[in-house]
């Protein structure tokens, strides 16, 4: 009786919070990878009111009577895709479902991902079926500054249901994908790219100075400018600048830019990181590495499946992304990507961390999710075997205690 009351309260609390009914659920598995330390054998995870209430050996972690209980061979934290375009770049790949890039200007930090994210896009449901519970998504690496990103859970019918960080980062890109080499187009070279970025950031510094000088005197404030306001927040370190750079010289340019303007930098892609690994380590910059199965052409022609191993050995914090694909497959699946890295020397434990707790750390949401620990969100992925094996299936996905997928994918 007492327990039932507790459940009811939890449901009421969570429904008023998110518009969804959070559930209490227990999961028992032969192996629980917590991303907090060694794996637990024959263990139980208990989620109450959408939060993890207990995790431990089955023998000492009783499941409350009547609580819905799922079983699986293996449980991991819900997977975190550290960078993708899911919800903006639709699966059909037709003009009407591609909202990841507006080509009208090279620098548009004012474009918000929350105004473009389609929570009902099929690819959201698709990756959820592989255990992906959190995605960092937004404007694609297709312009010098393509817009803002957000962090969402892969649940909900609206962006408001899904989003947990409405503005996560501002996405910038160096290299071929943000160059326009057409006659008279700009930026057409790496030098011009950096000149335009510096010009925009200098403009933001100037704007910031005018704001500061005006203080609370509204009459002295400069006119509002959405573009400059977004970049001022970069300068104030309120929001990191995510710079996609694959080639070593572009990586060095990103580090140089960061040194000049003092923003929080997250390196993205970094296919040639292994050439400039000392510079990255010295700058203490985290890396959201390209998908290990990315096609090694264009700026990625020198890419290597052993880069994650080298990042790990250098002590650089890194995570994996499903990235941006302009054709088939329209999105990659981080479970698959981490699996290939695991098999190419990284090892399963480090590969799993790179799509759970380390991804959460880079995204700044590790206090809330990314591992199975008491008090964190009840986000779990259940598998019928080693999650990385090709022939293993994801059998259930739990977000905030709600079973959002059950099946065999």
Partner 1 sequence: MTILTALFTSLPALLATTSPAQDKAVAFVGGRVLPIASAPIEDGTLVVRAGKIEAIGARTAVAIPVDATVVDCKGKTLMPGLVDTHSHVGGGWGADESGPIQPGVRMLDSVNCRDSGFQRAQAGGITTINVMSGSGHLMAGQTIYLKNRDADTIDGLVYRFADGSPMGGMKMANGTNSQRDPPFPGTRGKSAALVREQFVAAQEYKRKLAAAGNDVEKRPARDLALEGLVEILDKKRVVHHHTHRHDDVLTVLRLAKEFDFRVVLHHVSEAWKVADEIVAAKIPCSLIVIDTPGGKLEAADFDASSAAELEKRGAPELVAFHTDDWITDSRLFLRSAALAVRAGCSRDTALAGLTKNPAAMLDLGDRVGTLERGKDADVIVLSGDPLSVYTRVEQTWVEGVKVFDLAVPDDRRYAEGGWGVGHPRVETVCCLGGGEDR
Q: Which residues bind partner 1 (CB under 8 A)?
A: 90-94, 122-123, 126, 274-275, 293, 295-297, 300-306, 325, 327-333, 336, 339-340, 342-344, 388-393
Surface-to-core class of residue 224, CB atoms within 10 Å of its CB (0-12 exposed, 13-18 middle, 19+ buried): exposed
Closest CB to partner 1 among residues 57, 329: 329
Identify any residues that bridge with 71 across adjacent strands, giving them in sequence order.
Answer: 28
3-state secondary structure of 297: coil
Nearest distance from residue 204's CB to partner 1, in Å?
Answer: 37
Closest CB to partner 1 among residues 300, 355: 300
Closest CB to partner 1 among residues 78, 90: 90
Rg (alpha carbons) of the chain, rounded to whole number = 22
Closest CB to partner 1 among residues 35, 307: 307
Nearest distance from residue 89's CB to partner 1, in Å?
Answer: 10
Nearest distance from residue 118's CB to partner 1, in Å?
Answer: 14
Other CB atoms within 10 A of residue 133 CB? 29
Closest CB to partner 1 among residues 30, 326: 326
Nearest distance from residue 389's CB to partner 1, in Å?
Answer: 6
φ/ψ of residue 100, rounded to 5: -90, -15
Nearest distance from residue 151's CB to partner 1, in Å?
Answer: 21
Nearest distance from residue 264's CB to partner 1, in Å?
Answer: 30
CA atoms within 13 A on the CB side of 8: 5
Nearest distance from residue 303's CB to partner 1, in Å?
Answer: 5
- Looking at residue 107, the DSSP 8-state letter turns out to be B
Q: Are strands 402-406 and 394-399 parallel, antiparallel or unpaired?
A: antiparallel
Q: Which are the contacts of 368, defined by CB distance < 8 A and separation ≥ 6?
A: 164, 360, 376, 377
Question: Sign (positive/negative) of CA torsion 340, 343, 349, 354?
Answer: negative
- The enclosing H or E element of 362 equals helix 357-363
Nearest distance from residue 354's CB to partner 1, in Å?
Answer: 15
| Residue (of 231, 233, 311, 237) closest to 268 by Cα position | 311
Closest CB to partner 1 among residues 18, 331: 331
Closest CB to partner 1 among residues 95, 182: 95
Assess contact for 387 and 374: CB atoms under 8 A.
no
Assess contact for 204 and 228: CB atoms under 8 A.
yes
Identify any residues that bridge with 27 across adjacent strands, giving them in sequence order.
Answer: 45, 70
Closest CB to partner 1 among residues 83, 167: 83
């Amino acid at each position: 009786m007492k327990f039932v009351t507790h459940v009811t309260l939890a449901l009421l609390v969570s429904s008023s919070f998110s518009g969804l009914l959070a559930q209490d659920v227990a999961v028992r598995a032969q192996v629980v990878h917590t991303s907090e330390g060694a794996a637990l054998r024959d263990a139980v995870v208990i989620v109450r009111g959408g939060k993890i209430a207990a995790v431990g050996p089955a023998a000492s972690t009783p499941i409350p009577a009547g609580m819905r209980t799922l079983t699986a061979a293996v449980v991991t934290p819900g997977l975190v895709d550290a960078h993708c375009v899911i919800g903006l770049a639709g699966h059909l790949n037709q003009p009407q479902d591609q909202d990841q890039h507006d080509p009208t200007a090279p620098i548009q930090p004012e474009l918000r991902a929350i105004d473009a994210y389609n929570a009902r896009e099929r690819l959201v449901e698709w990756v959820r079926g592989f255990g992906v519970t959190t995605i960092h998504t937004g404007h694609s690496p297709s312009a010098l500054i393509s817009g803002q990103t957000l962090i969402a859970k892969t649940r909900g019918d609206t962006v408001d249901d899904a989003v947990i960080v409405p503005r996560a980062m501002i996405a910038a890109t160096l290299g071929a994908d943000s160059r326009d080499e057409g006659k008279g187009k700009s930026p057409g070279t790496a030098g011009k790219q950096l000149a335009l970025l510096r010009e925009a950031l200098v403009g933001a510094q100037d704007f910031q100075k005018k704001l500061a000088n005006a203080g609370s005197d509204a009459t002295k404030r400069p006119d509002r400018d959405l573009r400059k306001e977004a970049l001022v927040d970069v300068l104030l370190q309120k929001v990191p600048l995510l710079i996609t750079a694959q080639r070593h010289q572009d990586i060095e340019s990103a580090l140089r830019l960061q040194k000049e303007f003092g923003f929080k930098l997250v390196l993205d892609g970094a296919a040639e990181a292994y050439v400039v690994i000392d510079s990255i380590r010295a700058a203490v910059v985290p890396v959201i590495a390209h998908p290990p199965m990315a096609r090694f052409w264009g700026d990625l022609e020198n890419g290597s499946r052993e880069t994650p191993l080298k990042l790990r050995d250098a002590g650089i914090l890194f995570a994996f992304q499903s990235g941006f694909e302009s054709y088939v497959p329209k999105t990659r699946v981080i479970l698959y990507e981490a699996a290939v890295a695991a098999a190419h020397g990284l090892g399963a434990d480090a590969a799993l961390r790179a799509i759970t707790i380390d991804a959460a750390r880079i995204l700044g949401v590790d206090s809330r999710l990314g591992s199975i620990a008491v008090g964190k969100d009840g986000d779990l992925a259940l598998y019928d075997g080693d999650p990385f094996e090709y022939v293993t299936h994801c059998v259930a996905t739990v977000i905030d205690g709600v079973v959002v997928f059950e099946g065999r994918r």
